[in-house]
Structure 1
Amino acid sequence: MQVAIQLYTVRDKTAEDMLGTLTRIGEIGYRSVEFAGYGNSEPNAIREAIDKAGIAGFAAHVALARIDDEFDTVVDEMRILGVEHLIVPWLPPDQRNRAGYDHLIETLNKRAPEARDAGLHLGYHNHDFEFIPIDGVFPFDRIAGNTDPALVSLEIDVGWVKYAGQDPVAIIEQHAGRVPLIHAKEEQVDGVAGLPAPGSGPLPWKEIVAAGKAAGAKYLIAEDDHPLDSMKTAQAAFENLTGLVA
């Protein structure tokens, strides 16, 4: 299992200097990054920067609307970047209903074979709201149960799973074989600014990592939605998670 970082963690830096931020991420020790947009740059320049820094851009979060409407362009961008895992990061608030999730499932099922043929693996990243029942069923379970496990992966965000009152270890174990990516995030505490650096808080990290390895997860991805200091968080997360996967 390899430690990586979701660049959303350092979005304040990438917005101003994507290429310089990638250099700094490589200096910290990361060898893999997951994209969340391109900051103030574009795919060709980013590929040159990550190659120079010795970093692989193995995954990317891309909005469902782009998967729907700009799929060929997205595929071209992923090829430039060397991305393997193409992840839908969430549903916007106005789509978090039965019709919205049905459309998500339809799109995942439509695009997953096309992604495979392009050398990509399509997946979905959970938040807490996938564990709020709609018509008596968790949207997460609806997604998992109505997509092909061989073609649609589940990127389990353990912080959001825990925030939703669920057991991240059990969720990982339940979906063994289709969880190549795990987001290492601490649980949000309502009313508290910031989050602890990933791997330093009260989540059962040793059990999460063990379950991930047993489930076939290849990447443990540091993410902090609300870092008080994004680069210090990236540094601390790398140290914490590297110790956990050793």
Structure 2
Amino acid sequence: MRKTTPHDPRTAKQLTRRSILAASAGAAAALGAAGLPVLATGTPALAESEGEGKGNKYNQLRAEPLIPGGNRGIILYSVRDRISAAPDDSGVPYGFERVLARLAEIGYKEIEFAGYNQNTAILGRQITPTEIRKILDDNGLVANGTHTSIRADTFQQQLDIAEELGMKNIGTGSDPTNSAYQADWDAAADTWNELGRQAAARGMRLYTHNHDAAYSFLLDSGPLDALGRPTRSSGVRRLEYFFKQTDPRYVYFEFDIYWGYVARYKHQKFVDPTGQEQTSLFDPIINVAERTTRFPLFHAKDGNKNTTLPNGYEMTPLGEGDINFQQFFQTIGEPDFHHANWEQDTAPGGTLNRAQSLDFAALSYQNMSELTIYKRN
């Protein structure tokens, strides 16, 4: 399929039935070995046996959205340039009232926040959470989460804001700890278990969002360094250790799909307790599918493979890159439980293209809405 530049949404490629159902043989083998469902390649018509179900209305294929319409969201970090913009005469929406109205017009139903401030020139003061909630309600939008600071000393105040905005999830864009050491992840787990209980008592779920480093290897074995810290790894990844140390009733996760594939590219090798280098490939789909109901939220972020870059990928609008979202969301299941928030860190176009982030939001929503699952009556 011909690729187009991510900087011109008007010439974006169209998703086809063949392109969205295609799955690599390597990924299929890994999923099958883990006991997870594997997508058939080709179209459903080709996968169906000749004559099977013909004339039987109870055995006919039907198409349904893979991501339900009410679960399609956006994190406002993707359009942060327009949320924070001062009033201008460009005709491009600015501030919460105008930007959220445009996102609702595009089709988004859910909003994940990345701060609660806008340019004070719009109102002559800062907007309040109560005013933001009214904008959400007026546009038929629901707040499904936030990236805020998760600290014990300010957590109740953050819960107050989340409650005012009607959120069911409250989270952060940072890892519980940036450490590579088990003791620090144990301490973080204790804190998060307690804060998760506090969130649950107010009808919310506490979640953390990953970058690639969260899936690098824990230093938990081998000789100690001069400070008494381990220097080698048993092969356990940091966040996978955190999964086991936290209470599934109180601590949840938002999987950033793009950063998951970056982790697969970057974090492949570790030195085992005997001093031997080992290779272990991270599988983003299996990582989620084994504990799918701990992931209420996702960042549906796409990228083109580019091994000349340190991360191995370059961000693009959703559906314009190389990540197989069809395979990802169909395999992990639980479509009604999962909420997909489009994100592209690089969406803002600056003063030369003020409309770019909102144009990319529209393109990404269209491509998200075209992801389809096929079922039998």
Q: 1:90 aligns with which of 165, 174, 182?
A: 174
1:34 to 1:245, Cα distance in 2 relative to 1, 3 A = farther
Counting matched residue pairs gives 243
* TM superposition shift of 1:194: 6.3
Find the aligned partners of 1:186 and 1:208 in 2 and give their Cα distance. Answer: 12
Structure 1 unaligned regions, length at least 5: none
Q: 2:102 aligns with which of 24, 34, 37?
A: 24
Moved more, 33-42 or 118-127: 33-42
Matched with 1:35 is 113
1:156 to 1:193, Cα distance in 2 relative to 1, 3 A = closer
Matched, 1:120 2:204: yes
Matched with 2:63 is none
Matched, 1:180 2:258: no
* TM superposition shift of 1:29: 1.1
Matched, 1:150 2:249: yes
Matched with 1:46 is 132
Listed one character per residue, the Cα deviations across residues 108-127 of structure 1 (whole Å, up to 9, x for unaligned) are: 11111111001111111111
SS of match in other structure, 2:161:
helix
Matched with 2:359 is 232
Matched with 1:15 is 84
* TM superposition shift of 1:69: 1.7
Q: What's the TM-score, normalizing by structure 1?
A: 0.90
1:217 to 1:203, Cα distance in 2 relative to 1, 3 A = farther
Check conservation: 1:35, 1:60, Cα contact below 8 A.
yes
Find the aligned partners of 2:169 and 2:364 in 1 and give their Cα distance. Answer: 22
Structure showing greater radius of gyration is: 2
Check conservation: 2:329, 2:335, Cα contact below 8 A.
no
Q: Which runs of 4+ in 1 moved over 4 A?
A: 191-194
Matched with 1:57 is 143
1:8 to 1:245, Cα distance in 2 relative to 1, 3 A = farther
Matched with 1:242 is 369
1:120 to 1:214, Cα distance in 2 relative to 1, 3 A = closer
Listed one character per residue, the Cα deviations across residues 162-181 of structure 1 (whole Å, up to 9, x for unaligned) are: 01113221112122221111
RMSD: 2.3
Q: Percent identity?
A: 27
Find the aligned partners of 2:174 and 2:82 in 1 and give their Cα distance. Answer: 22
Structure 2 unaligned regions, length at least 5: 1-67, 86-94, 119-126, 220-232, 265-281, 350-355
* TM superposition shift of 1:224: 0.6
Find the aligned partners of 1:59 and 1:245 in 2 and give their Cα distance. Answer: 25
